[in-house]
Each structure stands twice: as C-alpha cells, then as structure tokens.
Amino acid sequence: MDFILSVDELKAFVGIFLFSRYHKVPSERSYWSNDDDLGVSIVKNAMARTWFQIIKNYVHFTDNATAEENAQDKGLKIRPLITVLQESLRKFVVFEENLSVDEMIVCYYGHNTLKPFMKGKLIRFGYRFWALCGVSGYCYNIDLYCGKGSANEENSDFLLGSKVVLNMLSVVDKPFSYNVYFNNLFTDYALLVHLRNFGFNATRTMRKNRISKCLLKESNAMKKEPRGTYDYRFDRNEEILIVK
C-alpha cells in the first residue's frame, strides 16, 4: 500500500493529539468508541481510527536520506520539530526580567531509549526536557535531554548542568538586564564566574562539593549555633557571594 498523506489529514492528525491533552479518556481507542460515555464525535468525524494509527506508525520529521550525517543525535527523528518549536516560542517574545532554568518531564510509559527512570520524581517515567521560563510560566527556550554525551561541545569545559544553563541562555540578548535562577543540579563555581562575565545576575543553590574550596563553617558546627546563624564568603575579583 502506498502511503500518501495530505496536508489536511496531517493537520487533523496533529489536532487530535492536541485535543487529547485536555479531553481525557481511558485509552486512545476510546475516542472512536460507539459508547455514548466514551466516543468523541469531533475526533471520529475528523479521521478514521485505522488511518490515525497508520499515520502514527509512519510519521517522522527527518529526511532519512540525510539522517546518517547526524546519527550521533539520539533525538534526530524529532529534531526539526524541536527547532520549529524553539523558533515559535521566541517569535514575538519579550523576555521577562526574572528567568529560571529547570527541567520538565513529559510522562511516557512506552519503550524508548530516551526515556530515563527518575527515582524520587513525581513523574518517574517520561521524556526529560530542559527549559528557560519566565516568572509567568512562559517558556522561551526548550530542548530534549538526549544523554550526557549529547551536550553542546562549545562548552565542553563545563559540567553537564552548566552546559544546559549556557545553552538555554544563549537566546537571551542584553544579559545585564536579566536575573537568572536555577537549582544545585546546574550549578558549579566556574558557571557563576562565566555568567558574571557575560553580565547575568544569577542566584542559585549550590552543592558543597562545587564551591571551589570556599572556606565556610562545617555543617556540624553550624548545627550547634542558634537558629538563623549564617556564614558567607565574597570573592572580590569575580564578585561572587556564597552564603551558608
């Protein structure tokens, strides 16, 4: 059978996926059910279930003829879709003053090498995305996590988390106008210095093994101090303040 897909059918296919994100039924097949409490007429009228499943089996977003050139990219099959999404998010955007870099999880229980198991997370199975967002929740940049070896080689001297931050912030112009926040997953001292040189104001939590020999009070000693006790060091050369 020849696989021929029209533009209107592709739009209907994508529309069904978008619709399914806010109209939930027990299973995908239920949208085409003849039961009054399950079937959804707008979906059944848009496309037959069999044709929907055939499209789902075949659809991808990369030309197979050029796929071998970027075979090391585990997200190759959907890379053009991610690129279009990134461009669309910033098409008419005005960056907010306060920005945050963090991870997002898209729940998925199927089989795929890009789906890590994340113990202790609210969503333990799914795809992991990095995101740059404003305080309103609007996403300015996004990228799929494809493993440690897939990080940007331009920043190869940094830890994985630091590479993520630099990659997400690469779309921001005039960095001195923005405050950036992120957690200890992404932070090390070299990143703080790098962002300061770029002009970003950055605030974040840090793990004690990443503070570059900064001499702060030991945790056991501070536990004996009154509530509210703190210790700090200020690097006058790099203008970095670390508080414990």
Identify whether residues 52 and 79 lie together within a single domain: no
Same domain, 42 and 105: no
Give the lowest-confidence range in 18-27, 146-155, 229-238: 146-155
Place of tokens 């399950």: 38
Report whether pLDDT(155) > 70: no
- Same domain for 195 and 75: yes
The mean pLDDT value for 137-146 works out to: 92
Place of tokens 């070896």: 149
What's the whole-number mean pLDDT along residues 126-152? 85
- Asked whether residue 74 falls in the same domain as residue 185, the answer is yes
Q: Is residue 160 located within the same domain as residue 53?
A: no
Does residue 150 carry a pLDDT above 60?
Answer: no
Among 38, 59, 80, residue at a domain's last position:
59
| Structural domain span for residue 236 | 213-244
Same domain, 189 and 87: yes
Strands ordered across the beta sheet of 139-144: 139-144, 126-134, 98-107, 179-182, 201-204
Q: What percent of the chain has pLDDT over 70?
A: 93
Instruction: Label residue 157 by pLDDT band (50, 70, 90).
Output: low
pTM, to two decimals: 0.79
For the residues 102-109, what does the mean pLDDT come to? 86
Cβ contacts of 193-199, under 8 Å, gap ≥ 24: 193/238, 193/240, 194/158, 194/162, 194/166, 195/165, 195/169, 196/238, 196/239, 196/240, 198/169, 199/174, 199/175
- Residue 45 located in a structural domain: yes
In this structure, the answer to whether residues 24 and 145 fall within a common structural domain is no
Provide the pLDDT for residue 153.
Answer: 56
